[in-house]
Protein backbone atom coordinates (compact mmCIF):
# COMPACT_ATOMS: atom_id res chain seq x y z
CA UNK A 1 0.00 0.00 0.00
CA UNK A 2 1.37 3.37 -0.99
CA UNK A 3 0.82 6.34 1.25
CA UNK A 4 1.19 10.02 0.43
CA UNK A 5 4.27 12.11 1.10
CA UNK A 6 2.52 14.12 3.81
CA UNK A 7 1.41 10.93 5.57
CA UNK A 8 4.88 9.42 5.31
CA UNK A 9 6.35 12.63 6.71
CA UNK A 10 3.99 12.46 9.67
CA UNK A 11 5.24 8.94 10.38
CA UNK A 12 8.85 10.02 9.86
CA UNK A 13 8.50 12.78 12.41
CA UNK A 14 7.15 10.30 14.93
CA UNK A 15 10.53 8.59 14.55
CA UNK A 16 12.42 11.87 14.96
CA UNK A 17 13.41 12.11 11.33
CA UNK A 18 13.63 15.84 10.63
CA UNK A 19 11.08 17.16 8.14
CA UNK A 20 9.82 20.64 7.34
CA UNK A 21 6.46 21.72 8.71
CA UNK A 22 3.65 21.43 6.20
CA UNK A 23 -0.06 20.80 5.81
CA UNK A 24 -2.40 19.50 3.16
CA UNK A 25 -4.78 21.72 1.18
CA UNK A 26 -7.71 20.55 -0.92
CA UNK A 27 -8.37 23.92 -2.57
CA UNK A 28 -6.83 27.30 -3.27
CA UNK A 29 -8.34 28.99 -0.19
CA UNK A 30 -6.84 26.40 2.13
CA UNK A 31 -3.51 26.68 0.33
CA UNK A 32 -3.51 30.46 0.86
CA UNK A 33 -4.40 30.22 4.52
CA UNK A 34 -1.71 27.60 5.21
CA UNK A 35 0.85 29.73 3.36
CA UNK A 36 -0.22 32.70 5.46
CA UNK A 37 0.39 30.70 8.59
CA UNK A 38 3.83 29.38 7.62
CA UNK A 39 4.99 32.55 5.91
CA UNK A 40 6.41 32.86 2.41
CA UNK A 41 8.08 31.35 0.52
CA UNK A 42 6.33 27.99 0.45
CA UNK A 43 6.61 24.97 -1.77
CA UNK A 44 3.43 23.47 -3.24
CA UNK A 45 3.59 19.74 -3.87
CA UNK A 46 1.05 17.51 -5.62
CA UNK A 47 0.03 14.54 -3.44
CA UNK A 48 -0.37 11.61 -5.81
CA UNK A 49 0.92 8.07 -5.64
CA UNK A 50 3.60 8.46 -8.31
CA UNK A 51 7.19 9.64 -8.42
CA UNK A 52 8.64 12.29 -10.68
CA UNK A 53 6.14 14.92 -9.64
CA UNK A 54 8.84 17.58 -9.88
CA UNK A 55 9.52 16.87 -13.54
CA UNK A 56 5.81 16.76 -14.32
CA UNK A 57 5.31 20.29 -12.95
CA UNK A 58 3.63 19.08 -9.77
CA UNK A 59 6.07 20.89 -7.46
CA UNK A 60 6.40 24.68 -7.43
CA UNK A 61 7.96 27.24 -5.12
CA UNK A 62 5.74 30.24 -4.40
CA UNK A 63 7.33 33.54 -3.36
CA UNK A 64 4.13 35.60 -3.30
CA UNK A 65 0.53 34.89 -2.38
CA UNK A 66 -0.35 35.34 -6.01
CA UNK A 67 2.12 32.54 -6.81
CA UNK A 68 0.41 30.40 -4.19
CA UNK A 69 -2.94 31.03 -5.82
CA UNK A 70 -1.76 30.40 -9.40
CA UNK A 71 0.35 27.33 -8.65
CA UNK A 72 -2.05 25.60 -6.29
CA UNK A 73 -4.91 26.15 -8.74
CA UNK A 74 -2.79 24.74 -11.54
CA UNK A 75 -1.51 21.74 -9.66
CA UNK A 76 -4.95 20.89 -8.24
CA UNK A 77 -6.32 20.64 -11.77
CA UNK A 78 -3.46 18.48 -13.04
CA UNK A 79 -3.21 14.82 -13.79
CA UNK A 80 0.17 13.24 -13.18
CA UNK A 81 0.75 9.96 -14.99
CA UNK A 82 -3.00 9.51 -15.23
CA UNK A 83 -3.74 10.27 -11.57
CA UNK A 84 -5.81 13.37 -10.78
CA UNK A 85 -4.29 15.62 -8.12
CA UNK A 86 -6.83 16.05 -5.32
CA UNK A 87 -4.64 17.70 -2.72
CA UNK A 88 -1.39 19.55 -2.34
CA UNK A 89 1.13 19.71 0.46
CA UNK A 90 2.07 23.25 1.42
CA UNK A 91 5.42 23.33 3.17
CA UNK A 92 7.94 25.94 4.13
CA UNK A 93 10.35 26.39 1.21
CA UNK A 94 14.05 26.19 1.91
CA UNK A 95 17.38 26.76 0.17
CA UNK A 96 19.06 23.51 -0.67
CA UNK A 97 22.85 23.09 -0.69
CA UNK A 98 23.05 19.42 -1.54
CA UNK A 99 20.68 16.56 -2.27
CA UNK A 100 21.31 12.94 -1.34
CA UNK A 101 19.33 9.74 -1.60
CA UNK A 102 18.70 7.40 1.32
CA UNK A 103 16.48 4.37 1.02
CA UNK A 104 15.63 1.00 2.48
CA UNK A 105 13.97 -1.89 0.76
CA UNK A 106 13.87 -5.64 0.54
CA UNK A 107 16.69 -7.34 -1.36
CA UNK A 108 14.94 -10.46 -2.56
CA UNK A 109 18.10 -12.03 -4.00
CA UNK A 110 20.01 -11.69 -0.74
CA UNK A 111 16.90 -12.35 1.35
CA UNK A 112 17.91 -9.38 3.45
CA UNK A 113 17.04 -5.74 3.80
CA UNK A 114 19.19 -3.35 1.81
CA UNK A 115 20.23 0.19 2.70
CA UNK A 116 20.92 2.35 -0.34
CA UNK A 117 22.71 5.68 -0.30
CA UNK A 118 23.66 8.00 -3.11
CA UNK A 119 25.22 11.43 -3.42
CA UNK A 120 23.11 11.93 -6.55
CA UNK A 121 19.84 12.79 -4.81
CA UNK A 122 16.78 14.51 -6.19
CA UNK A 123 16.59 12.32 -9.27
CA UNK A 124 15.13 8.85 -9.58
CA UNK A 125 17.46 6.25 -8.14
CA UNK A 126 16.71 4.02 -11.14
CA UNK A 127 18.13 6.73 -13.37
CA UNK A 128 21.26 7.06 -11.23
CA UNK A 129 21.67 3.28 -11.29
CA UNK A 130 21.53 3.35 -15.09
CA UNK A 131 23.77 6.35 -15.73
CA UNK A 132 26.21 6.56 -12.82
CA UNK A 133 26.05 3.40 -10.73
CA UNK A 134 29.34 4.31 -9.03
CA UNK A 135 27.41 6.98 -7.12
CA UNK A 136 25.32 4.37 -5.34
CA UNK A 137 26.43 2.43 -2.27
CA UNK A 138 24.53 -0.46 -0.73
CA UNK A 139 24.77 -2.54 2.39
CA UNK A 140 22.65 -5.52 3.34
CA UNK A 141 21.08 -5.68 6.77
CA UNK A 142 20.03 -8.89 8.44
CA UNK A 143 16.75 -8.12 10.24
CA UNK A 144 17.62 -10.65 12.94
CA UNK A 145 20.74 -8.71 13.95
CA UNK A 146 19.35 -5.27 13.13
CA UNK A 147 21.40 -2.44 11.76
CA UNK A 148 24.93 -2.08 13.12
CA UNK A 149 26.98 1.10 13.21
CA UNK A 150 29.83 -0.19 11.10
CA UNK A 151 27.37 -1.02 8.34
CA UNK A 152 26.00 2.49 8.23
CA UNK A 153 29.50 3.97 8.29
CA UNK A 154 30.44 1.78 5.37
CA UNK A 155 27.38 3.09 3.55
CA UNK A 156 28.24 6.78 4.02
CA UNK A 157 32.02 7.10 4.42
CA UNK A 158 32.90 6.13 0.88
CA UNK A 159 30.91 9.04 -0.52
CA UNK A 160 31.87 12.70 -0.56
CA UNK A 161 29.73 13.87 2.32
CA UNK A 162 31.00 16.71 4.53
CA UNK A 163 32.50 15.22 7.65
CA UNK A 164 30.37 17.34 9.95
CA UNK A 165 27.18 16.14 8.26
CA UNK A 166 27.96 12.44 8.43
CA UNK A 167 26.78 12.20 12.02
CA UNK A 168 23.39 13.73 11.17
CA UNK A 169 22.91 11.42 8.21
CA UNK A 170 23.85 8.35 10.24
CA UNK A 171 21.32 9.35 12.87
CA UNK A 172 18.60 9.73 10.25
CA UNK A 173 19.56 6.39 8.71
CA UNK A 174 19.16 4.66 12.07
CA UNK A 175 15.75 6.27 12.56
CA UNK A 176 14.68 5.37 9.06
CA UNK A 177 15.51 1.74 9.74
CA UNK A 178 13.50 1.84 12.97
CA UNK A 179 10.56 3.27 11.07
CA UNK A 180 10.88 0.77 8.21
CA UNK A 181 10.68 -2.15 10.65
CA UNK A 182 7.98 -0.65 12.86
CA UNK A 183 5.52 0.11 10.07
CA UNK A 184 6.21 -3.12 8.12
CA UNK A 185 7.38 -1.18 5.10
CA UNK A 186 8.62 -2.77 1.91
CA UNK A 187 10.14 0.56 0.84
CA UNK A 188 11.20 3.65 2.78
CA UNK A 189 12.83 6.37 0.75
CA UNK A 190 14.10 9.89 1.39
CA UNK A 191 14.86 11.55 -1.94
CA UNK A 192 16.14 14.13 -1.54
CA UNK A 193 17.72 13.97 1.85
CA UNK A 194 18.73 17.60 1.72
CA UNK A 195 21.49 19.60 3.33
CA UNK A 196 20.15 23.13 3.55
CA UNK A 197 22.20 26.31 3.31
CA UNK A 198 21.50 26.66 7.02
CA UNK A 199 23.39 23.39 7.54
CA UNK A 200 20.32 21.45 8.64
CA UNK A 201 19.80 17.95 7.24
CA UNK A 202 16.12 17.21 6.44
CA UNK A 203 13.92 14.75 4.59
CA UNK A 204 12.50 16.96 1.83
CA UNK A 205 10.54 14.12 0.30
CA UNK A 206 9.19 10.95 1.89
CA UNK A 207 8.04 7.73 0.33
CA UNK A 208 6.73 4.71 2.20
CA UNK A 209 5.16 1.56 0.86
CA UNK A 210 3.56 -0.66 3.48
CA UNK A 211 3.55 -4.42 2.97
CA UNK A 212 -0.11 -5.33 2.30
CA UNK A 213 0.37 -8.66 4.04
CA UNK A 214 1.21 -6.85 7.28
CA UNK A 215 -1.76 -4.49 7.26
CA UNK A 216 -3.68 -6.74 9.63
CA UNK A 217 -1.27 -5.69 12.36
CA UNK A 218 -1.07 -2.06 11.26
CA UNK A 219 -4.69 -0.99 11.78
CA UNK A 220 -3.75 2.70 12.03
CA UNK A 221 -2.02 2.59 8.68
CA UNK A 222 -4.79 0.64 7.02
CA UNK A 223 -7.03 3.63 7.67
CA UNK A 224 -4.79 5.73 5.44
CA UNK A 225 -5.86 3.71 2.45
CA UNK A 226 -7.94 5.92 0.24
CA UNK A 227 -10.76 4.85 -1.94
CA UNK A 228 -10.32 6.29 -5.39
CA UNK A 229 -6.55 6.50 -5.16
CA UNK A 230 -5.62 3.00 -6.04
CA UNK A 231 -8.70 1.04 -5.05
CA UNK A 232 -12.30 1.44 -6.14
CA UNK A 233 -15.17 1.00 -3.71
CA UNK A 234 -15.68 -2.71 -4.36
CA UNK A 235 -11.97 -3.37 -4.04
CA UNK A 236 -11.79 -1.51 -0.74
CA UNK A 237 -14.77 -3.47 0.53
CA UNK A 238 -13.19 -6.75 -0.62
CA UNK A 239 -10.11 -5.89 1.36
CA UNK A 240 -12.19 -5.61 4.52
CA UNK A 241 -13.72 -9.00 3.73
CA UNK A 242 -10.21 -10.38 3.16
CA UNK A 243 -11.00 -11.32 -0.43
CA UNK A 244 -8.28 -11.19 -3.11
CA UNK A 245 -10.43 -9.24 -5.56
CA UNK A 246 -9.48 -6.95 -8.43
CA UNK A 247 -12.14 -5.03 -10.34
CA UNK A 248 -11.12 -4.70 -13.98
CA UNK A 249 -10.44 -1.11 -15.13
CA UNK A 250 -13.65 0.59 -16.31
CA UNK A 251 -12.79 0.60 -20.01
CA UNK A 252 -11.90 -3.09 -19.97
CA UNK A 253 -14.66 -4.31 -17.68
CA UNK A 254 -17.18 -6.82 -18.97
CA UNK A 255 -20.17 -8.56 -17.43
CA UNK A 256 -18.68 -11.96 -16.61
CA UNK A 257 -17.64 -12.48 -13.00
CA UNK A 258 -14.66 -14.79 -12.55
CA UNK A 259 -13.45 -16.67 -9.50
CA UNK A 260 -11.22 -19.62 -8.80
CA UNK A 261 -8.67 -21.01 -6.41
CA UNK A 262 -5.16 -19.84 -7.20
CA UNK A 263 -4.09 -16.59 -8.84
CA UNK A 264 -2.64 -18.30 -11.92
CA UNK A 265 -5.77 -20.32 -12.49
CA UNK A 266 -7.98 -17.24 -12.20
CA UNK A 267 -5.84 -15.26 -14.64
CA UNK A 268 -5.93 -18.17 -17.06
CA UNK A 269 -9.71 -18.33 -16.69
CA UNK A 270 -9.98 -14.62 -17.49
CA UNK A 271 -7.88 -15.18 -20.62
CA UNK A 272 -10.13 -18.03 -21.70
CA UNK A 273 -13.23 -15.89 -21.20
CA UNK A 274 -11.71 -13.22 -23.43
CA UNK A 275 -10.68 -15.83 -26.02
CA UNK A 276 -14.23 -17.18 -26.07
CA UNK A 277 -15.55 -13.71 -26.92
CA UNK A 278 -16.49 -12.48 -23.44
CA UNK A 279 -15.08 -9.84 -21.12
CA UNK A 280 -14.27 -10.54 -17.47
CA UNK A 281 -15.59 -8.14 -14.86
CA UNK A 282 -13.13 -9.03 -12.14
CA UNK A 283 -10.42 -11.26 -10.74
CA UNK A 284 -11.15 -13.15 -7.52
CA UNK A 285 -8.85 -15.73 -6.01
CA UNK A 286 -10.60 -17.68 -3.26
CA UNK A 287 -7.31 -19.28 -2.17
CA UNK A 288 -6.25 -22.85 -1.60
CA UNK A 289 -8.59 -23.75 1.23
CA UNK A 290 -11.91 -22.56 -0.17
CA UNK A 291 -14.50 -22.99 2.57
CA UNK A 292 -18.23 -22.74 1.76
CA UNK A 293 -18.29 -19.43 3.65
CA UNK A 294 -15.55 -17.92 1.51
CA UNK A 295 -17.21 -19.22 -1.68
CA UNK A 296 -20.52 -17.67 -0.71
CA UNK A 297 -18.97 -14.36 0.34
CA UNK A 298 -17.10 -14.28 -2.96
CA UNK A 299 -20.21 -14.89 -5.07
CA UNK A 300 -22.06 -12.21 -3.16
CA UNK A 301 -19.23 -9.81 -3.64
CA UNK A 302 -18.94 -10.33 -7.39
CA UNK A 303 -22.69 -9.75 -7.76
CA UNK A 304 -22.47 -6.35 -6.09
CA UNK A 305 -21.47 -4.95 -9.47
CA UNK A 306 -24.85 -4.73 -11.22
CA UNK A 307 -23.11 -5.12 -14.56
CA UNK A 308 -22.33 -8.78 -13.81
CA UNK A 309 -24.66 -11.05 -15.83
CA UNK A 310 -22.99 -14.41 -15.29
CA UNK A 311 -20.20 -16.03 -13.30
CA UNK A 312 -17.56 -18.57 -14.22
CA UNK A 313 -16.06 -20.51 -11.33
CA UNK A 314 -12.89 -22.50 -11.84
CA UNK A 315 -11.84 -24.80 -9.03
CA UNK A 316 -8.93 -27.17 -8.94
CA UNK A 317 -9.68 -29.80 -6.33
CA UNK A 318 -6.27 -30.48 -4.90
CA UNK A 319 -6.56 -29.43 -1.31
CA UNK A 320 -10.31 -28.82 -1.47
CA UNK A 321 -12.67 -31.65 -2.39
CA UNK A 322 -14.88 -30.90 -5.40
CA UNK A 323 -18.03 -32.38 -3.81
CA UNK A 324 -17.69 -30.12 -0.78
CA UNK A 325 -17.30 -27.08 -3.03
CA UNK A 326 -20.35 -28.17 -5.06
CA UNK A 327 -22.46 -28.57 -1.93
CA UNK A 328 -21.38 -25.17 -0.68
CA UNK A 329 -22.20 -23.62 -4.04
CA UNK A 330 -25.70 -25.09 -4.15
CA UNK A 331 -26.50 -23.76 -0.71
CA UNK A 332 -24.98 -20.39 -1.52
CA UNK A 333 -26.91 -20.15 -4.79
CA UNK A 334 -30.23 -20.40 -2.97
CA UNK A 335 -29.31 -17.47 -0.79
CA UNK A 336 -27.95 -15.23 -3.54
CA UNK A 337 -29.66 -11.83 -3.67
CA UNK A 338 -29.63 -11.89 -7.46
CA UNK A 339 -29.61 -14.99 -9.67
CA UNK A 340 -27.40 -15.07 -12.74
CA UNK A 341 -26.19 -18.03 -14.79
CA UNK A 342 -23.26 -19.77 -13.12
CA UNK A 343 -20.88 -22.15 -14.85
CA UNK A 344 -18.51 -24.25 -12.78
CA UNK A 345 -15.44 -25.97 -14.02
CA UNK A 346 -14.16 -28.39 -11.44
CA UNK A 347 -11.46 -30.95 -11.64
CA UNK A 348 -9.60 -33.03 -9.06
CA UNK A 349 -10.59 -34.94 -5.96
CA UNK A 350 -14.20 -36.28 -6.09
CA UNK A 351 -14.92 -34.52 -9.35
CA UNK A 352 -17.46 -37.21 -10.37
CA UNK A 353 -19.40 -36.75 -7.15
CA UNK A 354 -19.48 -33.01 -7.74
CA UNK A 355 -20.79 -33.45 -11.27
CA UNK A 356 -23.59 -35.67 -9.99
CA UNK A 357 -24.49 -33.18 -7.28
CA UNK A 358 -24.81 -30.38 -9.81
CA UNK A 359 -26.89 -32.34 -12.33
CA UNK A 360 -30.38 -30.93 -12.75
CA UNK A 361 -29.57 -27.78 -10.78
CA UNK A 362 -29.24 -24.23 -12.15
CA UNK A 363 -25.47 -24.55 -11.83
CA UNK A 364 -23.87 -25.68 -15.07
CA UNK A 365 -20.95 -28.07 -15.03
CA UNK A 366 -17.97 -27.82 -17.39
CA UNK A 367 -15.05 -30.19 -17.56
CA UNK A 368 -12.41 -27.82 -18.95
CA UNK A 369 -11.65 -24.12 -18.59
CA UNK A 370 -12.19 -23.60 -22.29
CA UNK A 371 -15.58 -25.33 -22.20
CA UNK A 372 -16.56 -23.31 -19.13
CA UNK A 373 -15.58 -20.06 -20.83
CA UNK A 374 -17.56 -20.93 -23.98
CA UNK A 375 -20.64 -21.86 -21.94
CA UNK A 376 -20.69 -18.68 -19.89
CA UNK A 377 -20.16 -16.52 -22.99
CA UNK A 378 -23.02 -18.34 -24.71
CA UNK A 379 -25.28 -17.56 -21.75
CA UNK A 380 -24.28 -13.94 -21.32
CA UNK A 381 -23.69 -13.04 -24.94
CA UNK A 382 -20.52 -12.15 -26.84
CA UNK A 383 -18.77 -8.98 -25.81
CA UNK A 384 -15.70 -8.82 -27.97
P1 LIG B 1 9.43 14.05 -6.67
O2 LIG B 1 9.83 14.75 -7.94
O3 LIG B 1 8.06 13.44 -6.81
O4 LIG B 1 10.43 13.04 -6.21
O5 LIG B 1 9.31 15.17 -5.53
P6 LIG B 1 10.38 15.75 -4.47
O7 LIG B 1 9.68 16.03 -3.21
O8 LIG B 1 11.57 14.89 -4.38
O9 LIG B 1 10.79 17.16 -5.08
C10 LIG B 1 11.51 17.27 -6.29
C11 LIG B 1 12.51 18.40 -6.18
O12 LIG B 1 11.88 19.62 -5.84
C13 LIG B 1 13.54 18.21 -5.08
O14 LIG B 1 14.61 17.37 -5.47
C15 LIG B 1 13.98 19.61 -4.80
O16 LIG B 1 15.03 19.98 -5.68
C17 LIG B 1 12.75 20.42 -5.10
N18 LIG B 1 12.13 20.85 -3.81
C19 LIG B 1 11.29 20.15 -3.03
N20 LIG B 1 11.01 20.85 -1.90
C21 LIG B 1 11.68 22.01 -2.00
C22 LIG B 1 11.83 23.17 -1.16
O23 LIG B 1 11.29 23.29 -0.08
N24 LIG B 1 12.63 24.19 -1.62
C25 LIG B 1 13.27 24.12 -2.80
N26 LIG B 1 14.03 25.14 -3.18
N27 LIG B 1 13.18 23.06 -3.61
C28 LIG B 1 12.40 22.02 -3.22
MN1 LIG C 1 11.59 12.75 -4.54
Please tell me the distance between residue 6's alpha carbon and the centre of ligand 1 in angstroms: 13
Minimal-distance CA residue to ligand 1 atom 13? 122
Query: Average pLDDT of the chain?
Result: 93
Minimal-distance CA residue to ligand 1 atom 7? 205
Minimal-distance CA residue to ligand 1 atom 14? 122
Minimal-distance CA residue to ligand 1 atom 8? 205
pLDDT at 123 (0 to 100):
87
What atom in ligand 1 is closest to the CA of residue 191? 8
What atom in ligand 1 is closest to the CA of residue 46? 3
342, with CB counted inside 10 A (0-12, 13-18, 19+), is buried
Please tell me the distance between residue 124's alpha carbon and the centre of ligand 1 in angstroms: 12
Cβ count within 10 A of residue 317: 20
CB-based contacts of 3: which residues, under 8 Å, 6+ apart? Answer: 11, 208, 209, 210, 221, 224
Choose one of 192, 198, 201, 206 to mutate for the ligand 1 pocket test, by most ligand atoms within 8 angstroms of C-beta: 192
CA distances from 304 to 313, 338, 375 (A): 16, 9, 22
CA pair distance 159, 319, nearest whole angstrom: 54
Each residue of 24-48: b (16+ CB within 10 Å) or e?
A: bbeebebbbebbeebeebbbbbbbb
Residue 306 designated active-site? no
Phi-psi region of 39 (alpha: psi -120 to 50; beta: other; left: phi over 0): left
What atom in ligand 1 is closest to the CA of residue 207? 4
Please tell me the distance between residue 110's alpha carbon and the centre of ligand 2 in angstroms: 26
Q: Which of 120, 281, 278 is nearest to 192 (CA)?
A: 120
pLDDT at 69 (0 to 100):
98
113, with CB counted inside 10 A (0-12, 13-18, 19+), is buried
What atom in ligand 1 is closest to the CA of residue 121? 14
Going 203 to 209 to 211 to 215, the CA torsion angle's sign is positive
pLDDT at 318 (0 to 100):
80
* Distance between first and last Cα of the chain: 33
Please tell me the distance between residue 54's alpha carbon and the centre of ligand 1 in angstroms: 6
Per-residue pLDDT of the chain (384 residues; tens, 9 = 90+): 899 999 999 999 999 999 999 999 999 999 999 999 999 999 999 999 888 899 999 999 999 999 999 999 999 999 988 788 999 999 999 999 999 999 999 999 999 999 999 999 988 899 999 999 999 999 999 999 999 999 999 999 877 788 889 999 999 999 999 999 999 999 999 999 999 999 999 999 999 999 989 988 998 898 787 655 667 889 989 988 889 999 998 888 999 999 999 999 999 999 999 999 999 999 999 987 677 888 899 999 999 999 999 999 999 888 778 888 898 899 999 999 999 999 999 999 899 999 999 999 999 999 899 999 999 999 999 887
pLDDT at 83 (0 to 100):
81
pLDDT at 227 (0 to 100):
59
Please tell me the distance between residue 357's alpha carbon and the centre of ligand 2 in angstroms: 58
- Percent of the chain at pLDDT > 90 equals 77
Point out the catalytic residue in the list 189, 245, 272, 365.
189
Of all ligands present, the nearest one to the C-alpha of 59 is 1
What atom in ligand 1 is closest to the CA of residue 53? 3
Of all ligands present, the nearest one to the C-alpha of 58 is 1
Minimal-distance CA residue to ligand 1 atom 10? 54
Ligand 1, pocket residues at CB < 6 Å: 43, 45, 51-54, 59, 61, 93-94, 96, 99, 122, 191-192, 204-205
Residue 216 designated active-site? no
Point out the catalytic residue in the list 101, 180, 245, 365.
101
In tens, the pLDDT along 84-125 reads 899 999 999 999 999 999 999 999 999 999 999 999 998 889
Minimal-distance CA residue to ligand 1 atom 22? 93
Of all ligands present, the nearest one to the C-alpha of 95 is 1
Please tell me the distance between residue 334's alpha carbon and the centre of ligand 2 in angstroms: 53
As a residue count, the chain comes to: 384
Amino acid sequence: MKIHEYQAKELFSQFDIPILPGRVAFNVEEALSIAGEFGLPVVIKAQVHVGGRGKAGGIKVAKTFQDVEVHSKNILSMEIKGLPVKKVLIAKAVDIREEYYLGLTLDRDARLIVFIFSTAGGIDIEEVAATSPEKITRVNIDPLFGVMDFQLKKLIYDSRVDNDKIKDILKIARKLYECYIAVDASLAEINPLAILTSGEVVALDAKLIIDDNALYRQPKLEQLREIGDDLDELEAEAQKLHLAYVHMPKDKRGSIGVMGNGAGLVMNTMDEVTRAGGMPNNFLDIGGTATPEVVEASLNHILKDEVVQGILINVFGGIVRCDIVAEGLLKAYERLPRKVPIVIRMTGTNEDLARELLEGTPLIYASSTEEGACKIVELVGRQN
